Chain A
Amino acid sequence: MNKITSKIILLLILLFNSNSVFASGAEETEHVLPNPIMVLPFAILLLMIATGPLFYHHFWERNYPKIALALGSVTVLYYLIFLNDTHSLVHTLAEYISFIALLASLFVASGGILIKVAKKSTPMLNVMILLFGAVISNIIGTTGASMLLIRPYIKVNRDRIKAYHIVFFIFAVSNIGGALDPIGDPPLFLGFLRGIGFFWFFEHIFVVWVPTLLALMTIFYIIDSRNKGEEKPGVEYTGKIEFRGGKNVIFLAIILLSVFIDPGIIKWVPSLTPLPFGIREIIMLTVVYFSYKYADKKILEANEFNFEPIREVAFLFVGIFATMIPALQLIEHESKIYGHELTPGIFYWATGSLSAFLDNAPTFLNFLSAALGKYGMDVDVKQQVYDFSLTYPIYVQAISIAAVFFGAMSYIGNGPNFMVKSICERAGIKMPSFFGFLIKYSIPILLPLFFIIWLLVFYGRV
């Protein structure tokens, strides 16, 4: 363990010792390596996201868009003026547009759907809802599943709701659940675009997914069984499950189908290059407009629908995407140099620890590139990625599981985490702070689980 820990620490420390020219794993374009000091805007932004709501709440509430844009601009100007590297910026802009188009469309479309569950809250019912959410997050994505189920889940538990209910929802539905196919979580989708088979993830992750979720649900069940709550006298439960907003289900289906409308998957789909978006993003943003325009206003009102949660994600992540460019490029550079020393276990912890706080999609891609590089393969060659996933599945498994599972470690680990938090606070539920989430929940609950996964699946593998 000490050796592995020291290697991970070495990998992270090496980020601060880079000053050479390297080739990006995603593209063959030569980039000048950024100065390690340029990781600072990213560190400052993460620190402010962590401390803002805690220590200077209202300043943060009023100014987070300006702060995110200002810090993002520092990185953008550095790349434009000092590195003369527009390629990295355009590439990141394309990833951001793709990210926000998917998130916004799922958010708006699911906002027009209302599910009512007239059942009495019990630990077993909650486990069922969470497991159902984990399964459907592979069909409508972790964002779609989170937005669809968070309100009925709160309503079922309205008389006994505690912060841990929401935290386990974030763990199971907003993150870990979506590890079984490329629709579940963006990093897996990037892997699919690069050549990993659609069903590869199910075949190789299901064996880890099931015990992880069962262990998580057992912990949840024990905690929830101790919460007796207060039963309201005279409340009758019909046991019915009501579903309203059918036409928005059609919009959800359009979003899911549009995920595959990519020149890399379907040959006849035109590429809009040099524009930083494609047909897929246009469809998704069109769905945002129509699913809001034609949604049942009573449902929107009942969901207290507003654009603030997605606005918050859009602003914070524009800053995160921009400021993390240097960090990701430095990681990629170092992981290529030291790739031969990296075992699946190292890839697991390195991908996981970064995915807990960075966007997991580019983190996934960079470590996948490093793993391929170890065997002289190229992440840009689809056939090689496909062959690699079959020949050395343990690496892809380690990187995939870590990228998806560790997103549950913090509010900023995955897009839906923040949205769920925002919806719950608007419903009057006091949520843990950034550090409270880490200290009270993710470190004591998730980290031991992730450690066991490493011990059973990746320890000692080369």
Chain B
Amino acid sequence: MAISILRKGLTMKKLDDVLKNNLNGLHYGNRVLLPFQADILKAVIENDIITDFSSTKSGASYKVNEDFTEIYFYDYKILSEVVKGFEKIKLIVVEKGRDIFDFSNHRKIALSIEEKHKITISEINDDTLLFIE
């Protein structure tokens, strides 16, 4: 129990910390790992607008783990082959513990697929990307 709490305290990060410190996520094939806990409300990848995360065969699903959130995009084998250049995966997320029904807690983030399995996470605002909730 004590070890678990200690581990949580050491590794779990807040979304604001991740954005502030430019902490990266990871990608392996069609799997994305984000270094914070969050529920995902909407994902846009290429022309796909995904709001149904219930399937484990098509679209996408996500799982909130103790230290990270993982997303599987079932319709894409290798994300780095489709999300290239200036293109990004866009998400609307609500950080774990926040009121999901309060729209001010809905955060828009963009994921850039980089080399060596790295994902750059940035917040979307009206001055940067075009992303409608």
Please list the residues of chain A having a beta carbon within 8 angstroms of any beta carbon in chain B: 57-58, 61, 116, 151, 154-155, 158, 161, 300-308, 422, 425-430
Contacts and interface: CB of A to CB of B under 8 A. Distances in A.
A430 B49 contact: yes
Interface string B33-69: 0000000001010111100000000100000000000
A155 B130 contact: yes
B129 A302 contact: yes
B47 A426 contact: yes
A203 to B, nearest CB: 39
Contacts of B42: 428
Given A426-B46, A427-B130, A58 B86 contact: no
Contact of A154 (B46, B87, B130): B130
Contacts of A116: 127
A422 B87 CA distance: 13
Contact of B132 (A161, A300, A422): A161
Contacts of A307: 85
Contacts of B46: 61, 308, 426
Contact of B44 (A57, A302, A303, A426): A426
B56 to A, nearest CB: 15
Contact of A304 (B58, B87, B133): B87
Contacts of B75: 58, 61
Given A306-B86, A306-B87, A428 B131 contact: yes
B86 A428 contact: no
Given A425-B47, A426-B46, 20 more contacts: A61-B46, A61-B47, A116-B127, A151-B130, A154-B132, A155-B126, A300-B86, A301-B86, A303-B86, A304-B87, A304-B88, A305-B85, A425-B44, A426-B87, A427-B44, A427-B130, A428-B42, A428-B49, A428-B131, A429-B132
Contacts of B131: 427-428
Contacts of A306: 84-87
A154 B133 CA distance: 12
Given A425-B47, A426-B44, A426-B46, A301 B128 contact: yes
Contacts of B128: 301-302
B98 to A, nearest CB: 18
B88 A158 contact: no
Interface in B68-93: 75, 84-88, 90
